[in-house]
A and B are shown apart, each in its own frame.
Chain A
């Protein structure tokens, strides 16, 4: 099912939780809502589900206006941030709930309900827990019960609010890959909320980046990571180093080096900042041309398969972070306090006006 949001706004008192949000969610995709805490992700999801009604704007499901239809008519699956399992019901009763409350004419027979629920429990590897109460389950198990319960009513849209939020890193990783496979298997339109950029980039088809009730960028994981629309997105999707300077007619002058910045061809000597990811900083023993900046090694740190090198530039106290492979690190044999040359690649230059915007 295709979902279109048109100019949705939602206020709580004088606080704008959602500010004129327009978004098209294609059918069958897995979309991630990614943004800092308080940016309105949960509110947006609740508006789509019908748990919150927008102050203005329209919501269309497959082109049909559902803005004023009741939650129970929208037939969406919702997985709550804290699961919200029915605590006095066993796992199997939780999962069967959505089918049992159907009006008699739409309700499957008891046998069919039991079959469908058991299939789901099997799919989610919960067969052994079917008679337990939520309090008797681990976080990951509760998570899967919440998913099974939402899936039981065969929704065409699945809304998941930080489905992996309360889990430890390893289970998170397993479950999100599992969710991706499940999504592909049963062909849903899913939207999930996360504030973990890695999670969003890994499993989603489309990433929507929210900030202060607005959408900053919508795109594939590659688009948002490789061509962030603005400094906020760049900064939010992983660590970045900042190089201050100016741009003038398509050229950026940052920390004594000169870089092409064609998107600023019309700029006339305005202050600007270059953003570079740690893995786009190349470290060398010798300067190569005018593209290198002299720096001093402050600290080196092995993190898994890469080495993180902290540097300072010409007595500037701001720390710059570079990331390189262990092989390369060994070849360079860097020591603390040594001099090194830094050559930035893939620099994204934003003029100060962009930054304020």
Chain B
């Protein structure tokens, strides 16, 4: 908002000669560092990605399709989509609520809440899964009661969903808290003085300012929800066609030495990762641009 933003930065590069700057390193060092970085990326990221698709298509495209069409695999895909479809919206709601609460209100325990939101990031996924086993498992606190009432959570779909929600809940909340704290509540106060009610303030003022942050958080949250292995593995029970998500299915196939099929299914996750990356960079670009990228709207039309 400051007037400084619009001031063009002074052209300091006027007298700079290409390649001969007191601040730049000798060419050799630059090439060396860039080379090391690229080699590293290639070795650890690009090569494996290539290997995944190479292995997946090793026995031809029809074998690839067959591996994906196989009923157990289809069940795994369905379950993964279901888990994401439930956990992502829930975490979206939680994230917006947490962001709103932390940035717009003063209340006791606020710092604790912000710290706790990060917990799933700092805890090993195995522990995250075990927490649920301890609570809902047969030997756990609620286990006997659940058994009596014939409710299955552990080694069933609800457990997988719970574990996934736990592992993914920081993504939206963290992104929004950082963004909303940076923006402050000036615009909301201005809207309030102008007579807007809470709902109008959220939809017309807050939401447009955070929507790219929301999308950013959601795609990362979704990628993790679909790809989570550790926590889900603990609570799933690995029942084929029932409680297997895509990552778990990949592991089973791999352990059965069915490499082509394992990599075929894994390639779905790799594609998801690539799509996530693409959307992520698009959103990052949108968030960086100083104002909404759209044509000036006419007053009466909005």
Query: Contact residues of A with B, CB < 8 Å?
Result: 49, 51, 71-72, 75-78, 80, 82-88, 90, 92-93, 96-98, 101-102, 110-111, 113-114, 117, 130-136, 138-139, 142, 149-150, 153, 166
Contacts and interface: CB of A to CB of B under 8 A. Distances in A.
Nearest to B4: A139
B1 A85 contact: yes
B189 A149 contact: no
A188 to B, nearest CB: 15
B159 to A, nearest CB: 42
A43 to B, nearest CB: 14
B57 to A, nearest CB: 46
Interface size of B as a range: 20 to 34
A149 B290 contact: no
Given A75-B195, A135-B5, 5 more contacts: A51-B189, A77-B193, A84-B187, A86-B204, A88-B208
Interface of B: 1-3, 5-6, 186-187, 189-197, 200, 204-205, 208-209, 290-292, 296-297, 299-300, 302
Contacts of B186: 80, 82, 84
Contact of A153 (B1, B195, B291): B195
Contacts of A80: 186, 189-190
Contact of A86 (B2, B187, B300): B187
Contacts of B208: 88
A110 B209 contact: no
A135 B187 contact: no
Given A87-B1, A90-B296, A101-B204, A136 B190 contact: no
Contact of A83 (B1, B200, B291): B1
Contact of B194 (A83, A88, A98, A113): A98
Contact of B187 (A87, A98, A113, A130): A87
A73 B65 CA distance: 64
A114 B193 contact: no
Contacts of B300: 110-111, 114
B194 A93 contact: no
Contacts of A131: 296
A153 B194 contact: yes
A92 B204 CA distance: 15
Contacts of B290: 135
A101 B194 contact: yes
B189 A98 contact: no
B1 A78 contact: no
29 contacts: A49-B193, A51-B193, A71-B193, A72-B195, A72-B197, A75-B195, A76-B193, A77-B193, A80-B186, A80-B189, A84-B190, A87-B187, A88-B209, A92-B299, A96-B299, A97-B191, A98-B196, A101-B194, A101-B197, A113-B299, A114-B299, A117-B299, A135-B290, A135-B291, A136-B6, A138-B3, A142-B1, A149-B190, A150-B194
